[in-house]
Structure 1
Amino acid sequence: MTEPARRTLLLAAAAAGFGAAGCTSDGGDHTDRGLGGGGEPGATASAGASSSDTPAPSRGPRGTPTIPPEPPLPAPSPWPLARTEVEPRAKGAAVRLLEALGTWPRGQQGPGPARERARNRGVPPAGAAHLVARAAPLLTPAPEATVRVIAAQYGGLAGDHASVLVPLRQWRRAADGSVEDGGATVDVRLTRAPSGWQVCDLHPSRPGRPLARPGALIRRTVTHDHIHLPPAADADIRAGHLHPAPLRALLTLAESYDIDVSVVHTGHPRNVFGTSRLSDHTRMRAFDVWAVNGRPVSDPTTPHALIDGFMRAAARAGAYRVGGPRLLGRGGEVFFTDRAHRDHLHMAFDSDE
């Protein structure tokens, strides 16, 4: 099965306004050079034809040049929202705004049309200007673009404040007519108002440059058939933004499971949400998983034995903290659960080696 088809099946399995004020922030849009350095905006890898691959115009019956048609962009596909979510309206507000900002037809590129798309999602003018400025990595100039959300998980829930982490893929039309394939992970901050959850800030991922000479652990991880990485997580690992212990654990787990990773380093809140404690993701010692063997963690039909078995296997692989939708055994110092971890698995390690 091709990767796009497999993604479509996973998203189908998951199915079952606004202002800039009052939003808490822990500096979640920090640029961390980590082990790889660079601090550049998230790298995009072209999946379409490069300019050198574009065929030369052919000749018609009377010698007139005929220009080959441009390859189409993937069609928009709204991410399915499940009513069984802990805070479905928070996820809905986050996901639908990013889909609107990162998708546009020909003639609708630029910040002006983006602000209009935000206003069409219920964002007031001042809030629209702020959010469009924050969404710059999704608004790289291009004649047209399409965003598809890969997953949406809670980065934290604390009273009337929430963080929703959204890994997404974006296809853009290049100047030569080819299709560029990239993406990002966005930490969407929301506040609860009388009218419902409102997006108040965006913190897009900003991975560094890929290492010139990545080690064997990195090469094996990013090319493994059973480890599926969204663009920002892939870029984080290639930049050295994940220490060896979690990389080795991923490879060990991939011997028995098919793993859909959601977040590694950038695009995650800097601190544990609602606290002043530095996150293990910021320390480059953690990764999150949104689906195991093609079964989303948030789907109530996903077998408990599958998810619980994966969590126990992660602990055996060296994780010192494992979070998920249920508390395993007596919990203790290793396993934990809370409202924010009912839709993903969190594996953290206490070693840099």
Structure 2
Amino acid sequence: MTEPARRTLLLAAVGLGLAGCTPDGEREPEATDTSAEIPSPTPTCEPSRPSQLSPTPPLPSASPWPLARTEVEPQAKQSAVRLLEALGTWPRGRRGPDPALERSVEVRGVPTDGAARLVRQARPLLDAGPEATARVIAAQYGGLVGARASVLVPLRQWARAADGAVDTGGATVDVRMTRSPAEGWQVTDLHPSRPARALARPGDLIERVVGEGNRIHLPPAAEADIRAGHLHPKPLRALLTLAERYEIDVSVVHTGHPRNVFGTNRLSDHTRMRAFDVWAVNGRAVIDPATPDTLIDGFMRAAARAGAYNVGGPRLLSGGGFFSDRVHRDHLHIAFDSDR
């Protein structure tokens, strides 16, 4: 994915000309179009009719996001991801706010009296084509303070365009929640990312980071942030340095993250465009109990050597600049203290 909204062209093969003939006059089926009907045998050779259009490509499956058994607040995260999967996915004929409202109230943790507001807030996910599929890329905590929570959910969305092609886009959504003794975690608000327009002249550093698609995996909103210049050079250089040794799955860069450090009045380093979060290293999720501690700890130390002044993760490492808490059991926070 090179842009938050990228179109995959629908391939249509139309063959004109003369068909190959067998000795008995039967037309050979075209080897490159196995979906087309094989014409019936004819007594003599004749010009072939145009081949049928290739079938409309199917949308990817929804593939519900799997929750790890070590989740800190499993019901909060499950409600957040299931709501976004439901809002961002619909079959043909079920587009629009009313069907979205019906889907939302079926999700545990969505209060009936607040569902209409959530649908309105999710409008960026509902403006796709006549059918769509949303797939969660990652889900991490943006904050956990008492009975309040933020769950950050980067997702990718595929939608059918009017001409049958598949549009690819996505967003990162800050899902706000509250917990009550009677109802447990309830979704209260949705804050979808709204990245700025890409720079006309992004420069070599941005191009190199975005071009490292085999080593640096960026969800749509994070890639859009980088293309818009919303990550400063120091963290960009650190990403390239880390990618020399590791495969990095980034979750959040700038948009879609709470403006302040959750529960405080302190401006987040993400808002300052000095931080990025990582949810998996070498294809191994930070939250997965099977992921080796040595892999995650080694990445955190490598991030510090690459210039990060503040590195958070699931364990508190020795030395300055490292921290750990319940929020960072499922991702790594890599932050820098300068713009250059």
TM range (shorter): 0.7 to 0.9
In the alignment, which residue of structure 1 is the partner of 2:262?
273
- 1:168 maps to which of 136, 151, 155: 155
Rounded to whole Å, the distance in 2 between the matches of 1:57 and 1:172 is 28
Assess, with a 3 A threshold, how the Cα gap between structure 1 residues 65 and 86 changes in structure 2: closer, same or farther. same
- 2:122 maps to which of 129, 132, 135: 135
Q: Does the Cα contact within 8 Å between 1:227 and 1:260 map onto a contact in 2?
A: yes
Q: What letter matches 2:258 in structure 1?
A: P
User: What SS does the corresponding residue of 1:120 show, helix, strand or coil?
Assistant: coil
- 2:72 maps to which of 60, 64, 86: 86
Shift of 1:121: 1.5
Rounded to whole Å, the distance in 1 between the matches of 2:75 and 2:106 is 17
Q: What letter matches 2:131 in structure 1?
A: E
Assess, with a 3 A threshold, how the Cα gap between structure 1 residues 285 and 233 changes in structure 2: closer, same or farther. same
In the alignment, which residue of structure 2 is the partner of 1:240?
229
Q: Does the Cα contact within 8 Å between 1:43 and 1:209 map onto a contact in 2?
A: no
Rounded to whole Å, the distance in 1 between the matches of 2:15 and 2:228 is 39
Instruction: Give every structure 1 segment of 4 or more consecutive aligned residues whose post-TM-superposition deviation is greater than 6 Å.
Output: 57-62
Rounded to whole Å, the distance in 2 between the matches of 1:240 and 1:222 is 12
Shift of 1:119: 1.3
Assess, with a 3 A threshold, how the Cα gap between structure 1 residues 57 and 142 changes in structure 2: closer, same or farther. farther
State percent identity of aligned pairs: 72
User: What SS does the corresponding residue of 1:281 show, helix, strand or coil?
Assistant: coil
- Which runs of 5 or more structure 2 residues have no equivalent in the other structure? 17-35, 40-47
Scaled by the length of structure 2, the TM-score of the pair is 0.86
Rounded to whole Å, the distance in 2 between the matches of 1:240 and 1:309 is 29
Q: What letter matches 2:315 in structure 1?
A: R
In the alignment, which residue of structure 2 is the partner of 1:28?
none
Rounded to whole Å, the distance in 1 between the matches of 2:310 and 2:323 is 8
Q: Deviations over 1:25-66 (max 9, x none)?
A: xxxxxxxxxxxxxxxxx94122x216xx65569898696984
In the alignment, which residue of structure 1 is the partner of 2:282?
293
Rounded to whole Å, the distance in 2 between the matches of 1:196 and 1:124 is 11
Shift of 1:105: 0.5
Q: Does the Cα contact within 8 Å between 2:13 and 2:51 map onto a contact in 1?
A: no
Scaled by the length of structure 1, the TM-score of the pair is 0.83
In the alignment, which residue of structure 2 is the partner of 1:262?
251
Q: What letter matches 1:117 in structure 2?
A: R
Rounded to whole Å, the distance in 2 between the matches of 1:124 and 1:157 is 20
Shift of 1:73: 0.3
In the alignment, which residue of structure 2 is the partner of 1:284?
273
User: What SS does the corresponding residue of 1:93 show, helix, strand or coil?
Assistant: helix
User: What SS does the corresponding residue of 1:307 show, helix, strand or coil?
Assistant: helix
Rounded to whole Å, the distance in 1 between the matches of 2:316 and 2:256 is 26
Structure with higher Rg: it is 2
Rounded to whole Å, the distance in 2 between the matches of 1:124 and 1:55 is 49
Q: What letter matches 2:269 in structure 1?
A: D
User: What SS does the corresponding residue of 2:6 show, helix, strand or coil?
Assistant: coil
Shift of 1:322: 0.4
Q: Deviations over 1:138-195 (max 9, x none)?
A: 1114110001111100000000000000011110000000111111110100111222
Q: Does the Cα contact within 8 Å between 1:73 and 1:145 map onto a contact in 2?
A: yes
Q: What letter matches 1:159 in structure 2?
A: G
Q: Does the Cα contact within 8 Å between 1:160 and 1:191 map onto a contact in 2?
A: yes
In the alignment, which residue of structure 2 is the partner of 1:222?
210
- Which runs of 5 or more structure 1 residues have no equivalent in the other structure? 4-41
In the alignment, which residue of structure 2 is the partner of 1:339?
326
In the alignment, structure 1 residue 45 sits paired with structure 2 residue 6: yes
In the alignment, which residue of structure 2 is the partner of 1:348?
335
Q: Count the aligned residue pairs.
A: 308
Rounded to whole Å, the distance in 2 between the matches of 1:161 and 1:268 is 15
Q: Deviations over 1:208-232 (max 9, x none)?
A: 1111011111000011121110111
Rounded to whole Å, the distance in 2 between the matches of 1:226 and 1:254 is 6
Q: Give 1:95-106 correspondences, 5 Å limit.
A: 95-106=81-92
Rounded to whole Å, the distance in 1 between the matches of 2:188 and 2:12 is 42
Rounded to whole Å, the distance in 2 between the matches of 1:133 and 1:65 is 45
Assess, with a 3 A threshold, how the Cα gap between structure 1 residues 66 and 174 changes in structure 2: closer, same or farther. same
User: What SS does the corresponding residue of 2:241 show, helix, strand or coil?
Assistant: helix
